[in-house]
């Protein structure tokens, strides 16, 4: 008959099992912290309702409804039918707008580094701090429409011309009703 060689198990050192569990708990906590931190680093644009067509470019102007909140839920700003140049806002908002489509509704998370960073923002009316330094921001945005910068400039020029005509300020040298040029004022 053959005999199986026996190997004696060494006893576990006192406290080793506790150290093993502490190591496991620390590894899980570290993994959770890394996952949380990586989520916080990037811009997030979640589509609530899909829009249609192409997205605005950095040189476009958008017409939006929006509500801005701090990460803790406190509202700091809101606007309806607000025309905004895509390049005229904080970097995270600009990047988010360039991922949207006309008619869409979006929920946007902007990390502090793509918002105002270490600069706190104050309410212009009250002087109170509305956005503390290093704040992550959350926006709900409806992209109503957008236009190119050239279209916006043409529209502004047309509006200015219309306002001048309404004021009767066609200016010196304008044609008189009889077809002759009006005399210049001296």
- How many other CB atoms are found less than 10 A from the CB of residue 47? 13
Res 152: pLDDT: 84
Task: Return d(Cα 53, Cα 144) in angstroms, integer.
Answer: 12
Res 163: pLDDT: 93
Q: Could you tell me the mean pLDDT of each successive run of 10 residues in the chain, 186 residues long?
A: 66 71 74 56 94 96 97 96 95 98 98 97 94 97 94 90 83 45 41
Q: Give DSSP secondary structure letters for 114-153.
A: GTTTT--EE-TTT--EEE-TT--EEEEEEEEEEE-HHHHH
User: Beta partners for 63?
Assistant: 83, 145
Res 36: pLDDT: 57
Res 149: pLDDT: 85
Res 15: pLDDT: 72
Res 1: pLDDT: 59
Domains of the chain are 41-150 (3.10.50.40)
């Amino acid at each position: 008959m053959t005999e199986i060689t026996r190997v004696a198990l060494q006893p576990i050192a006192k406290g080793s099992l506790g150290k093993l569990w502490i190591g496991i708990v620390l590894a899980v906590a570290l993994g959770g912290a890394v996952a949380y931190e990586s989520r916080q680093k990037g811009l997030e644009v979640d589509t609530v309702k899909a829009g249609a067509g192409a997205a605005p470019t950095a040189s476009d102007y958008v017409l939006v409804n929006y509500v801005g909140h701090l990460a803790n839920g406190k509202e700091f700003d809101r606007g309806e039918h607000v025309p905004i140049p895509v390049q005229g806002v904080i970097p995270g908002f600009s990047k988010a707008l360039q991922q949207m489509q006309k008619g869409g509704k979006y929920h946007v998370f902007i990390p502090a580094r793509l918002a105002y960073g270490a600069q706190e923002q104050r309410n212009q009316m009250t002087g109170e701090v509305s956005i503390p330094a290093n704040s992550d921001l959350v926006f709900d945005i409806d992209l109503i429409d957008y236009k190119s910068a050239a279209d916006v400039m043409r529209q502004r020029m047309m509006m200015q011309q219309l306002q001048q005509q309404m004021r009767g300020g066609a200016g010196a040298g304008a044609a008189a009703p009889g077809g002759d040029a009006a005399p210049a004022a001296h």
